[in-house]
Amino acid sequence: MSFILYLIVGGIIGWLAGLIMGRDIPGGIIGNIIAGIVGAWLGGAIFGNWGPHIAGMAIIPALIGAIILVFVLSFILRTARKA
């Protein structure tokens, strides 16, 4: 049950990061889940595990990490389309 909650929270974090950045994450729901989980890992590695925790994720660093991930991913995809 905790794995399903982890996926749901990851998807919500990825979706919120896409909304904040104003960019769609490639892959739809699966892309949002991946962006949220990788963003949680990235945010935890950079900012630590502070703030409220849900399903083992520190929400604020996870959201910041997902925003960074969406920004970098959109920059790479935009550069690849121009080439």
- For residue 83, is pLDDT > 80? no
- For residue 61, is pLDDT > 80? yes
What is the predicted pLDDT for the residue at 77? 85
Domain residues for the domain of 60 are 2-82
Q: How confident is the model at residue 68 (pLDDT cuts 50, 70, 90)?
A: very high
How far CA 76 is from CA of 26, 31, 41, 63, 81, in Å, comes to 12, 16, 20, 20, 9
Tens digit of each residue's pLDDT (9 = 90 or more) over 2-34: 889 999 999 999 999 999 988 878 788 898 889
Q: Is the dihedral of CA 10, 11, 15, 21 positive or negative?
A: positive
Q: How many domains does the chain have?
A: 1
Tens digit of each residue's pLDDT (9 = 90 or more) over 46-57: 998 888 998 888
